[in-house]
Amino acid sequence: MTALLDLTGKKGLILGIANEHSIAYGCARVFKQAGADLAVTYANVKAEPYVRPLADQLDASIIMPCDVRDEAQMTALFKAVEKEWGTLDFLLHAIAFAPKADLQGRVTDCSKDGFLEAMDISCHSYIRLAKLAEPLMQNGGSLLTLSYIGSVEVVKHYGLMGPVKAALESTTRYLAAELGENNIRVNALSPSAIMTRAGSGIADFDELLKSTAVKMPLHRMIDIEDVGNMAAFLVSDLSKNITGGVHMVDGGYEIID
Ligand code: NAD
């Protein structure tokens, strides 16, 4: 890590750690190394035993449950952030979900309920979080989410998540346009395939990992720390004029036909 990248004194809220393989954990580790204070959430009681030890290692100031479908939990989380810190500098949204039957079938066949649930958890939750974060970002701030190339091209087995990520990327642009006047920057990272729990929900994910490494110019898999390094840049003051973007972390995968 370069000495230039310094998050000392910055306070960040991390949503999306499920285990040590999570992209959110890779990001949180780099944020912590760079000096940030962190708040960490877990999605439910089942996740807590996996997340709490990681949050302890990160010396998190706040460790709280937050299922993004639960308005009361969201409100309690931001109340706790306000009480502990008064302000918030950055927020990482690394959350996605789609019901398996809808995810693994054709988009043509996906149910209305499955589509709405995937959109709610994976996309609209970013809007809800932005709204709650805005009043705490009085000194400006940085919001970050995670997308995937399946938003703009058809990736086999990515199915329903393609349209959902397309909406998430567009949401990133609209939030960036609206929140810019408060010096709140909004960006998305788009990593190539990484083996995580969410990734393993995609059919034939092993094949996707292999074909990704073959196709990309750099011919090596990216990992959660690569994403963390880019995320740390985007929440730091080094990127103070960068907003509204979808930033590839993909070894050049995107440029190859
Ligand atoms: P992961 O399974 O570690 O993380 C997904 C997280 O979403 C989990 O922590 C889970 O608890 C959380 N989540 C699901 N439903 C939730 C809810 N209702 N409330 C709160 N949290 C909820 O997998 P990951 O790969 O680290 O995924 C993080 C993000 O990165 C996702 O948006 C995913 O689409 C994106 N992404 C992943 C890859 C990849 O190849 N793994 C590539 C590009 C983008």
pLDDT value for 3: 54
Please tell me the distance between residue 47's alpha carbon and the centre of ligand 1 in angstroms. Answer: 13
Q: Is position 2 within any domain?
A: no
Q: Is position 6 within any domain?
A: no
- What are φ and ψ of residue 71, in 5° steps? -60, -40
pTM: 0.98
Cβ–ligand 1 distance for 196 under 6 Å, the answer yes
Q: In this predicted model, which residue has the larger pLDDT, 1 or 155?
A: 155
Q: Is position 256 within any domain?
A: no
pLDDT in tens, 158-199: 999 999 999 999 999 999 999 999 999 999 999 999 999 999
Query: What 8-state DSSP symbol labels residue 124?
Result: I
pLDDT value for 2: 46
The mean pLDDT of 113-129, rounded to a whole number, is 98
pLDDT value for 257: 86
Question: In total, how many domains does the chain have?
Answer: 1
C-alpha distances in Å from residue 221, one per residue of 21, 93, 157, 212, 249: 14, 22, 19, 8, 10
Please tell me the distance between residue 85's alpha carbon and the centre of ligand 1 in angstroms. Answer: 26
The mean pLDDT of 114-139, rounded to a whole number, is 98
Q: Is position 195 within any domain?
A: yes
C-alpha distances in Å from residue 160, one per residue of 80, 113, 125, 149, 169: 34, 12, 17, 13, 15
pLDDT band for position 4 (cuts 50, 70, 90) = confident
Cβ–ligand 1 distance for 144 under 6 Å, the answer no
Atom of ligand 1 nearest to the CA of 145: 32
Among candidate residues 25, 126, 158, 253, the one labeled active-site is 158
pLDDT in tens, 48-92: 999 999 999 999 999 999 999 999 999 999 999 999 999 999 999
Which domain CATH number covers 44? 3.40.50.720
Print burial letters for 161-178: b (CB count within 10 Å at least 16), e (below 16): bbbbbebbbebbbebbee
Q: Is 126 one of the annotated active-site residues of the chain?
A: no
pLDDT in tens, 7-56: 999 999 999 999 999 999 999 999 999 999 999 999 999 999 999 999 99
Q: Is position 232 within any domain?
A: yes
Please tell me the distance between residue 197's alpha carbon and the centre of ligand 1 in angstroms. Answer: 8
The mean pLDDT of 101-118, rounded to a whole number, is 97
Atom of ligand 1 nearest to the CA of 168: 32
- Of the candidates 82, 95, 161, the one whose C-alpha atom is nearest the C-alpha of residue 128 is 95
Mean residue pLDDT across the chain: 97
- What are φ and ψ of residue 50, in 5° steps? -85, -35
Q: Is position 255 within any domain?
A: no
The mean pLDDT of 219-233, rounded to a whole number, is 97
Residue range of the domain that includes 49: 11-247
Q: Is position 5 within any domain?
A: no
Q: In this predicted model, which residue has the larger pLDDT, 2 or 225?
A: 225
